[in-house]
Amino acid sequence: MRWFIEKPASLRITRRGLLKVFGVTVAALAVGAYKVTDLFVHRNRYIKMRQSGQYKDDERVRKTYSLAASQQNPMIKRFYDEFAGQPFGEVSESLLHTKYFRRTG
C-alpha cells in the first residue's frame, strides 16, 4: 500500500514558481553585495580621513617645533626616553618596524 502518490517533476514547480525563486535569490544576493561594498566604502573613507588627520597633525607639530626628522619630535623623544631607549635600538626596532621575509620559489 502506498502512502503517497508522487507527482511528476513538471507539476511540482512551475516555470512561474522557478522564476519567483530565482528572483528572490538574485534580490537577496544583490542586497548582500550592496551591503558588503558599502562596508568597504565606509572603511576606506574612514582610513583616508584618519590618514589625512595624521598628516595634518604631523605637519602642525613639524611647523610648531621646526623639526627636520621624526625623532626630533618632543613626543617621540619622550617615548624613547621612557620606553624604547634610542632610535633604531632593539626595543624600538621590534615594536615600530615591520619585518620582511623574502619568499623563495
What's the average model confidence in pLDDT over 32-54? 86
The cell for 81 is 626616553
Q: What is the DSSP letter of 88?
A: T
Q: What is the mean pLDDT of residues 34-46?
A: 84
Residue 35 makes CB contacts below 8 A (sequence gap 6+) with none
In this structure, are residues 95 and 101 in contact, taking their beta carbons and an 8 Å threshold? no
The set of cell numbers assigned to 13 is: 514547480
Does the pTM surpass 0.85? The reply is: no
**Mean pLDDT, rounded, for 28-39:** 86
Return the DSSP state at 82: I
Assess whether pLDDT exceeds 60 at residue 1.
no
For the chain, report the end-to-end CA distance as a whole number of angstroms.
68
Q: pLDDT tens-digit profile of 61-82?
A: 888 878 777 667 788 788 888 8
CB 65 within 8 A of CB 72: yes
Enter the C-alpha cell of residue 37: 561594498
